[in-house]
Amino acid sequence: MFHRGAVFLVASLCLVIATGMTCPAQFVATDDPELSALFEPAPMRELDTYDLFGKSLSRDEARQMVVDAGMDPEVDESYLRLGLVHYTQELIDKGRTQFLQGQLGDPFSISNIISFASEFGKSTVQSALDSLDPTKDPDGTATFLRDVLLTCLLRPKDPTTNLEVTLTRDLHIGSTPIPAGTVMRTGLDVQAGNFTPVGFDGGAVSCAICHASVDTVTGREIVGRANTDLDIGLFLALSPNSAGAFIKVNRDDFDPMDPRFPRTGRTIVNSKGDEVTLPDPIAYETAMDDFLLSMPKGTFDAGPDSRTSLVRVPDNFVIGEGGMGWDGGFNIGPFGGVTAFSSAVHSFELSMSSPFFSPESVLEIDPEVFLGVILQNAADPALRIPDGVRPSVWLKENFPLAERERLMEIPSFPDPTLFSLNGLVFNPPGERVMESANALAAFQTSLNVPPNRTPENFTALISGAVQRGGEVFLAAKCNECHIPPYFTDRVIHTVDELGVNPVRGKARNSLQGRLVAARLPAFDLVGPLPADAPMIDLPPAEGTDDNLHLPPGLSQ
């Protein structure tokens, strides 16, 4: 067991590593190459190179690859046809715009089904008017928005990492009203001098709401650093149909057929042709809101697998790591899987209706019942199913392009691959295949962790604590897994080895035996795609034999 002082030294080193502070030579002087390697700055990817499924190729190497394929190296489409992505400042800038200003998720799910943080998407004037009319704001959500906006406008223009809002009216979400006068710690960050929280630029909820935070020293936004105290559960509970996300939580706790929910909802036809009465939408919504309000801040549940498995919001400093998930998924394709991971946020994590296409053995619920539950109280009244219909048939007849506004089916749909767990990818209309997802990946690859300029870190440097922490780091053999300069071995470790909660691994193991080969349409194509569209076969990740299996030990 380490002495407390040794633990402090390691913590000092981890603080430096985690915050990107490169130690100057005057603070760390050593002839030990292993120790010196801990403090070397991590190399960044060079511009004007080409990405080929995570490998960086020079212009000459990419050109030769195109020539060898018998295509014209002077035409950009030749490179895209082979899966080569030109890493340029223009691509990075496109990704930055999407990350900071683009709407998070698929509009059909986010706006029409659950209407996540719906009040934030309205004009300020309209929301203010709604907040003054109890008939338009029966639960107080519009008033809460007004309180948030007024707090931002009237507060001192110092930065904050946890906006506190005092309710001027009771807020009715969940089973217990939150009384007026309550101080709500929202977790929202506001930059110095700004009037809107990070992640709400232009009225759209963007990636930045979770994956950017304000530095209290500089008062400015740090893009890529996770907002670790954002009250995600609160903002989901504010949605008028948060029950649309019920498939992400424990089946036993939120079984729509549980007798504790009155059978007063819509009557629908299930996949077996039987009539089923759905749970009362208000009672079900209330139960879901109660759960959401109990979630630890800075956590979310991404998996539509009928299991509650909350995780911390991750950072987006992916250089050297790729997009590999904890389960080995998203480890293939452009930028070493960062494209796949970026796409999955829009097409999988925040796609409310796509679980319908999963087998009932995975959903643990009749697919038609699932669809009926998320639609019977949809935020958009036009989406609310009538009695006596089969939800999937009704939805296809009335909304044939549902969830396809910014999503594209790839050849595997609806079967899962290690690139897309539901056969859908993020691809706004009019764009080339994976254009925006590749831009998001390029932008995240360009991010570097900013230096830690806190007084505490400076003290650790000048006192020699950082160097001594490095020595303890090596003595404990931490560097065998946390290999510099990126401090990762890019290996999936088993649940048994790490001693972590196995719930997510058990859930993901449902994919074993269902994964199919990962293929993408050629990147030079623009949808809608022809039936004979040329395809790119994605090679397995480094160190793996194929794309058809998850790593062993996920739930052991």
What is residue 118's predicted lDDT score, i.e. its pLDDT?
Answer: 53
Contacts of residue 70, defined as CB under 8 A and 6 or more positions apart, other chains included, come to: none
Instruction: Measure the CA–CA gap between 319 and 91, rounded to whole angstroms.
Output: 16
* Residue bearing the bigger pLDDT, 332 or 495: 332
Instruction: Measure the CA–CA gap between 96 and 325, rounded to whole angstroms.
Output: 22
Q: How far is CA 511 from CA 329, 346, 490, in A?
A: 11, 20, 21
- Domains identified in the chain, total number: 3
Q: Which tens digits make up the pLDDT trace of 283-296?
A: 999 999 999 999 99
Q: Which tens digits make up the pLDDT trace of 395-418?
A: 999 998 776 788 999 999 989 999
Q: Which own/partner contact pairs does 454-463 have at CB distance under 8 Å and 24+ positions apart?
A: 454/217, 456/15, 457/15, 457/16, 457/19, 457/21, 460/12, 460/15, 460/16, 461/16, 461/21, 461/23, 461/24, 461/27, 462/27
Alpha helices in 69-110 (DSSP H): 76-81, 89-101, 107
What is residue 8's predicted lDDT score, i.e. its pLDDT?
Answer: 47
Residue 135 sits in the same domain as residue 214:
yes
Strands 424-426 and 267-269 turn out to be unpaired
Please report, to the nearest 10 degrees, the dihedral formed by the alpha carbons of residues 111, 115, 120, 121 taken in order: 20
Q: Cβ(427)–Cβ(332) under 8 Å?
A: no
Q: What angle do CA 295, 300, 302 make, to 5 degrees?
A: 140
Q: Lowest-pLDDT range, 171-175, 270-274, 298-302, 376-380?
A: 298-302
In a domain, 408, yes or no: no
Residue 408 CA neighbour count, 13 Å, CB half:
25
For tokens 């080969």, what's the residue? 517
Question: What share of the chain in percent tops pLDDT 90?
Answer: 55
Please report, to the nearest 10 degrees, the dihedral formed by the alpha carbons of residues 104, 93, 89, 405 taken in order: 50
Question: What share of the chain in percent tops pLDDT 70?
Answer: 89
Q: Which of 215, 232, 249 is the last residue of a domain?
A: 232
Residue 141 sits in the same domain as residue 74:
no
Estimate to the nearest angstrom the gap between the alpha carbon of 205 and the chain centroid: 13
What is residue 554's predicted lDDT score, i.e. its pLDDT?
Answer: 60
In a domain, 552, yes or no: no
What is residue 126's predicted lDDT score, i.e. its pLDDT?
Answer: 65
What is residue 170's predicted lDDT score, i.e. its pLDDT?
Answer: 95
Instruction: Measure the CA–CA gap between 22 and 461, rounded to whole angstroms.
Output: 10
Q: Which of 191, 207, 232 is the last residue of a domain?
A: 232
Would the pLDDT of 22 be above 50? Answer: no
Q: Lowest-pLDDT range, 42-46, 111-115, 288-292, 440-444?
A: 111-115
What radius of gyration do the chain's Cα atoms show? 25
Instruction: Measure the CA–CA gap between 382 and 399, rounded to whole angstroms.
Output: 10
Q: Lowest-pLDDT range, 74-88, 436-450, 458-472?
A: 458-472
Domain of residue 13: give its range: 4-41+453-481
Q: How far is CA 269 from CA 247, 306, 384, in A?
A: 19, 22, 15
Alpha helices in 425-508 (DSSP H): 435-446, 455-462, 465-475, 495-498, 503-508
Residue 20 sits in the same domain as residue 76:
no
Six-digit token string for 394: 């009704």
Residue 208 sits in the same domain as residue 124:
yes
Residue 25 sits in the same domain as residue 68:
no
Across 264-284, average pLDDT: 97
Highest mean pLDDT among 107-111, 112-116, 436-440, 545-549: 436-440
Q: What are phi and psi of 57, to 5 degrees?
A: -110, 145
In a domain, 173, yes or no: yes
Q: Which tens digits make up the pLDDT trace of 334-346?
A: 999 999 999 999 8
Residue 221 sits in the same domain as residue 203:
yes
In order, the DSSP letters of 342-358 are HHHIIIIIT-SSGGGGS
Residue 81 sits in the same domain as residue 155:
no
The overall average pLDDT reported for the chain is: 87
In a domain, 33, yes or no: yes
Would the pLDDT of 540 be above 80? Answer: yes
Would the pLDDT of 258 be above 70? Answer: yes
Residue 213 sits in the same domain as residue 121:
yes
In a domain, 206, yes or no: yes
Q: Which tens digits make up the pLDDT trace of 478-500?
A: 999 999 999 988 888 887 888 87
Residue 125 sits in the same domain as residue 221:
yes
Q: Which tens digits make up the pLDDT trace of 200-253?
A: 876 678 999 999 999 988 899 999 999 999 999 999 999 899 998 888 787 778
Residue 166 sits in the same domain as residue 75:
no
What is residue 2's predicted lDDT score, i.e. its pLDDT?
Answer: 44
Q: Lowest-pLDDT range, 5-19, 40-54, 84-98, 218-232?
A: 5-19
Q: Which tens digits make up the pLDDT trace of 90-143?
A: 999 999 999 999 988 888 888 888 887 555 555 555 666 776 777 778 888 889
Strands (E), 32-131: 49-52, 55-57, 85-87
Estimate to the nearest angstrom the gap between the alpha carbon of 387 and the chain centroid: 35
Residue 149 sits in the same domain as residue 168:
yes
Q: What are phi and psi of 432, to 5 degrees?
A: -65, 160
Closest CA to 321 of 153, 449, 470: 449
pTM over 0.85: yes
Across 355-373, average pLDDT: 82
Q: Which tens digits make up the pLDDT trace of 514-524?
A: 899 999 999 99
Would the pLDDT of 73 be above 90? Answer: yes
Q: Cβ(521)–Cβ(535) under 8 Å?
A: yes
Residue 80 sits in the same domain as residue 24:
no
Q: Which of 194, 211, 232 is the last residue of a domain?
A: 232
Q: Cβ(416)–Cβ(503) under 8 Å?
A: no
In a domain, 547, yes or no: no
